[in-house]
Structure 1
Amino acid sequence: MKWDKHGQLKPSGDFTAKPTPAFTAMCPFSPGARNEDEIAAARFPSAAVRDERIGRYEEAYVGHVSEGAYRSEGSSGGMANWVAASLLESGLVDGVAHVIPVDPAQEGRFFRYRLSRSVPELREGAHSRYYPVEISSVLDAIRTTPGRYAVVGVPCFIKAIHLLRAQEPILAERIAFTLGLFCGHMKSARLVESFAWQLDAPMPEVRAVEYRRKDPSRPANWYTAQLTLADGSMRWQDWWHLADGDWGAGFFRNSACDYCDDVVAETADVAFGDAWVEPYSSDGRGTNVVIVRHPALHAMIQSAREEGRLALDTVDADFIAGTQAAGLRHRREGLAYRLRIAPPRLPLRKRVSPGGHDLPWRRKLVYRGRRWIGSGSHHIFAAARSTGWHRLYTVWAGLALRAYQAVTYLRGPLGAVLGRLSKDSS
C-alpha cells in the first residue's frame, strides 16, 4: 500500500494480470468475497438477535467504563480500550493490533498499526484516528510469532481479517478476537493538512493531531481539532468554525466508502460506537454504544457489569440504529441511490440493490452533494497544495459547505426548480 497524490493509501503493483482466486476472495470490496451477512452467519451461528440494520448479536448496551481512567482517556466512553485491556489481563490474548500515533518527522505519517502486549502500550492508542492506515506489518508479525491476538479496526478492516483468516489457517488459529469500531467513512491524510492551513500551523512543524479533543464541560458531539507543534505549542479550533468542518458532508472521503454498507462492524466479535442521541450526546465525558456478538466477550462484560466496573444499560436494536441513523441512511438508502446514478466500474455484490427513484428531491440533492464534495475536495486541495495558494481550497470548501447545508432549508421557487432538476436528472 502506497500513498497517492490525494493522501490515500492505495495498492501498488502490476494490475494488468487477472486477479488470483485467493485475492478475489480476500479483498473486502471484491464481488467474489463473502459479504457481511455470510461471514457473520458462520462466525455467530447461535446469535440471540438478528437485525438487518446492525447484524447478529447477543446483547447491546449503552454506557461507559466506571473503573480507572478509560473513560477520560478515550474519545468516547472508554469501552474499546477496556475490552482490549481485559483480554490482555485475562490472558485470552497475547497482543492487540491497534492504531497508535507516531512522529511524522520520523515515519512520514501520523498513525500506524502496532501490536501492543501490555495495558500501558494499549493506552497509547486511545482516541479516534481519522487517518489512512494499513495492517500488513502487524499481520506479518502475527504470522511469525506464535500466540493469540485481537485486532481492532473499522468495518472493512475487520471484514478483510475474516476473509484472510479463511485463506490462511495460521491467522485463523492466532487471531482469536476482532474488535470493531463504528465508521461513517474514512478521511484522507489531507484532512490534517487542512487543519494546519486553517490554524496557521506550518505543516512541517506539526507533530501530532487530535481529531476530537475531549472537554467534559462541553457536549460530546462538539468536535475540536488540535495540533501539537515541534516546539510543544498547541493550536485548536472547533470543527464548526472550519471551512470543511461538517463530517457528514464528506470532505476528503475515500471513494471506496461510498460503496460500503456496514456501519457497525457487523462481522466483529464486539463493536463500539458513540451514543449520538440525547441525553448522551450532551455528556462531554463520552458514552459508548456496544454490540456484543462473541459469547466469551458477552460473559466478560456481563461479569464486569455485575461488579460495578462498567456502567452499562441494555438496549435494543432500535436504540443502536437510532444512534447511527444518519450513517445507516447514507449506507443503505443513499447507497441504493449511488449504485443507480454512479455504478462503480467493478460490479460490486452489495446487500443493497440499485434504487432511490422515489426519494424526495432534497435527499437526492444531499447524496449528490456529498459525492461532489468528496471528489471535489481531493482535486481542489491537490491544486491548492501544488500552487501554494491555500485559499483556493479553503474558500471553495467554505462555499461548498454552505451550499450543502442550505439544501436542508431550501423553500419556495428555488426549491421547486432544484426539485424539478433533481427529478429530471434522476
Structure 2
Amino acid sequence: MKNKLEHRCSNALRNEAARQSVVARRVRHSRLLSLAIGAAVVAFCAALAPRVEATPQFARSTGRSCVSCHIAPPKLNQWGEAFRARGYRLPNDEQLKPTVPLAVWLTGRHEERSPGDLEKSYVHRVELISGGPLWDLPLSYFVEWRVVSLDLRTDGTLRDRGGRFEDALINWEINDSNTFTFGQFRSLNQYDVSLRLSVSEPVIFSGSLAGPLSPNSRIQALRAFAPSGRSPGATYTFRSIGGPLPSDGLFHFVNVPFVGELSLPLSEEARREASFELEGPAKGVFLETFYRRGLNSIGAHAFFGENERRLFTGVGRFNYDDFYATAAAGIDDAAGRRSRGRFSIEAEYLPSYFDRIRPGIGFRIEQITHAQRDPAYIPYFVLTGPNTKYFTLLLQIEGRFQADTRGLFIDLSAIF
C-alpha cells in the first residue's frame, strides 16, 4: 500500500511538473510573439515613412539640437508646436536627410511614500517611439510602445503593464482647417500632459469619472474617463481662425473615446493588467475649444457621457520670457454622488541661457473637492543635457505634500 501511494504521488508530481513546464513554455512563446508583433508594428510604421521627421531622429537628420524644438525636453517651444502641427514636417517643404525613424526612452525611478514607509528603485519604462509624415500624402502617424511599464502599488509590489501602447494614431490632414485623428491617444489637446516636466500629471486632467459598473474589474477601469487618459477613439479638428504658425489660431475638437486599450502584453501579469480590450458603445463625447498664439492659450473643454457623467473645465496657459504658468478650474458630476470642484495652478521657471544644459523648477497646487483629499503641494526640479542630436538625459525630482502624506519621485531618463 505504501509503495502504491508513493508511486501515485511520484506520478502526480511528475505530471504537475510537466504541466507547469508546458505553461511556462507557452508564456515564454506568447511573450516572444507579443514582443515580435509589437516591434513589427513600430518597424512597419517607420518603414511607411521614408522621410520621417520626428523627435530625436529629427534632430539627427537636421544636425540640430533637442532645444531647437524643446524648451527643455520633452516640453515643446513655439517652433516645436508648429512642427508637430504640420504633421512633423518642416516649413516650405524643406527636405531632411534619411535617418533611422526610431527613438528610445529609458527611465529608472526611485520612489518613496508615506504613510507605509514605501521605498523602491526600479526600471519604470522602456519605450519605443516613431512618428512622422507618410510620404507626400496628407497623413502622419505617431506610435509609442512601452516594452517595460512598471508602477509601484500601495502595498509595495510592482504592477507590470509591459506591452501597452501609449499612443498609436494616424492624422489625416485634409487641409489647413480640417483634420481627422484615429487610433489610441489622449482626448485633451490644449495641454498635452505627455510633454510635461513634472513626474506626475495634473490631477485636474488625470482625475477620472467612473463609468457604468462591470463584473470585470479591467473593463470597469477602462470605462472611466479622464481628459488626459488614453482611449481608442476618433477626433475631428476644425481650425476656424488661422495664425502666423500652424499651431496658432482658434481650434475646435470633437472627440469620441471608446472603452478599451490597444496593447500587446508581454507577461502573464500584463495580460491581466494591460490586456487588449475594445468594447462599445462609446464612453461619450469630449468637446474642446481654445485659442493659441505662441505658447499662450485660453480655452475650455467638456465631457458628456453615460451614467450622467459631466465635466466642464476652463484652462489658461501663459508664457513670458523664461516663465510659464498654467491655471485650470472646473466641475464634474455623476449619478449617485455630489458635484466636485477641480483646480490646478502651476508655475515654472526654465532659464534658456545654455543649450547644452537646461535646468528648471516648478510648483503646482491642485485639488479635487469632495474626494476625501486635501490640496496637494508639488514642487519639482528638472535638468536636461547635453541635448545633442544623438541623445539627451533628463533628471526629474518631484516632491508631493498632501496632509499627512509625503512622496518623493526621482526619474532619470535617457532619450536617444
Q: TM-score, normalised by structure 2?
A: 0.30
More strand by share: 2
